[in-house]
Amino acid sequence: MRYRILGGTGIEVSAYCLGTMMFGSAGNPDHDDSIRVIHAALDQGVNFVDTADMYSAGESEEIVGKALQGRRDDVVLATKVHFPMGEGPNRGGNSRRWITRAVEASLKRLRTDWIDLYQIHRPDHRTDLEETLAALTDLVRQGKIRAFGSSAFPAHETVEAYHVARQRGLYRFRTEQPPYNVLARGIEGDVLPTAQRLGMGVLTYSPLGWGFLTGRYRKGQQIDLSRGRAARAPQRFDPSVPVNAAKLEVVEELVKLADELGRTLPELAVAFVAAHPAVTSVILGPRTMEQLESLLKGASLVLDDAVLDRIDELVPPGTNVYPPVALWSPAPLTDPALRRRPLTDRAAS
């Protein structure tokens, strides 16, 4: 296992991070089995574990907390805050009020006194960035977290946060967690170069492109839209949808390339993400032991320039075959009131 420094913090993390979104009711509800998967990853050199308070409504954090008993000092533990954790107002977001409540709940579920990396899961334009950064800075000074980062932030939000921190004498985001894979390379044009310039660590998620880079979905084969992820979001898997057809075309070529290398498609996909110089660690999100073992087989795979050039021909750098659905959308694109002048102003003009 290779290790890299996390965003100038001096903390060494494995080049592959164990993501735990699939542990709990949203994936594997068997706690004992999930714990075995976590232990297997640690035994193979993974020392970086990523979760979030909203994964299975806190259940993922509980599983991780149980799994790390007796091994906590050897693990770099990351979790996140932002999404609602209950009904009613003020139970989510990036306000000081919510962050200070949420971190205590995460610490309790994780059975630990500190969190190594606490991440803001998404931007929140209802909350001033200074308010968020000040709350996180206080948590570092209190010893409850060691560092903090962002997730799915667009490049301009990352730059704004950097300048706010400098101007106000606050600690800054040390990491960014974006979706990134062979089929979704858009962040190569802005997010990744920005992180490099600011000295931030990058831990990427979705290396298998919603399952398309597992080889499970192939051109010309029947895709069962009533099972698994396809049942939850059939529009992302229906081969009659042009963007899905485009993904399947690229997958066929990637399978051929992987075969030439004597590797599987998942191994090739994960190695591609790890090859980018901005990427510190690739988050793997297995649900079962078999999936973990399949993904970790690629840990030793290093792609040479010839292979990377072949991939560039299939999916040009900085382009998306599909738009990563988990990326944040600017408020003016989702709220019409923010892009239309009041009728009175328009009448006056």
Q: How confident is the model over 182-241, as pLDDT tens digits?
A: 999 999 999 999 999 999 999 999 999 989 999 888 887 888 777 777 777 788 888 889
**Which residues are within 8 A (CB) of 311 and not within 5 positions of it... i.e. 6 or more apart?**
182, 254, 257, 272, 303
Nearest to 99 by CA among 124, 116, 77: 124
Give yes or no for residue 335 having a pLDDT over 60.
yes
Q: Which domains are assigned to the chain?
A: 3-217+263-348 (3.20.20.100)
**Count helices and strands in the chain by DSSP H and E runs:** 13, 10
Q: How confident is the model over 84-96, as pLDDT tens digits?
A: 998 988 999 999 9
Please tell me which residue in 16, 55, 180, 322 is annotated as part of the active site. 55
pLDDT of residue 184: 97
Q: Is 55 a catalytic residue?
A: yes
Q: Mean per-residue pLDDT for 311-315? A: 97
